[in-house]
Amino acid sequence: MKRNVVAVLAVGAAFAVGGAAWFFTQGDAEPTTEVTAPPIEAAETTGAPDTSETAPETTVVADDDPAVGTSFELTDASTATFRIDEELRGSPTTVIGTSGIVLGRIEIDPDDLSNSQIGEILINARDFETDSGLRNRAIRGPILDTDVFEFISFVPSAIDGLEGSASVGDELVFTVSGELTIRDITQRVVFDVTAVLTSGTTIEGTATTVVERGPFELVIPSVPSVANVAEEVPLSLDFVAESA
Rounded to whole angstroms, how far apart are CA atoms 86 and 93? Answer: 5
Find out whether 187 and 193 touch, Cβ atoms under 8 Å. Answer: no
DSSP bridge partners of 202: 199, 242
Query: Whose CA is closest to 233, among 244, 12, 217, 225?
Result: 217
pLDDT in tens, the chain (244 residues): 544 444 433 333 333 333 344 445 556 899 998 888 999 864 333 344 554 444 333 333 334 444 445 899 999 999 999 999 988 787 888 999 999 999 999 999 999 999 999 999 999 999 999 999 988 999 999 999 999 999 999 999 999 999 999 999 999 999 999 999 999 999 999 999 999 999 989 999 999 999 999 999 998 877 777 778 899 999 999 999 999 7
pLDDT at residue 26, as a whole number: 59
Query: Whose CA is closest to 108, among 193, 210, 235, 209?
Result: 193
Quick check: pTM over 0.85?
no
Query: Where along the chain do its domains lie?
Result: 2-243
The dotted CATH code for 2-243 is: 2.40.128.110
Rounded to whole angstroms, how far apart are CA atoms 123 and 237? Answer: 10
pLDDT at residue 19, as a whole number: 38
Rounded to whole angstroms, how far apart are CA atoms 72 and 93? Answer: 37
How many CB atoms are closer than 10 A to CB 235? 20
Rounded to whole angstroms, how far apart are CA atoms 189 and 170? Answer: 26
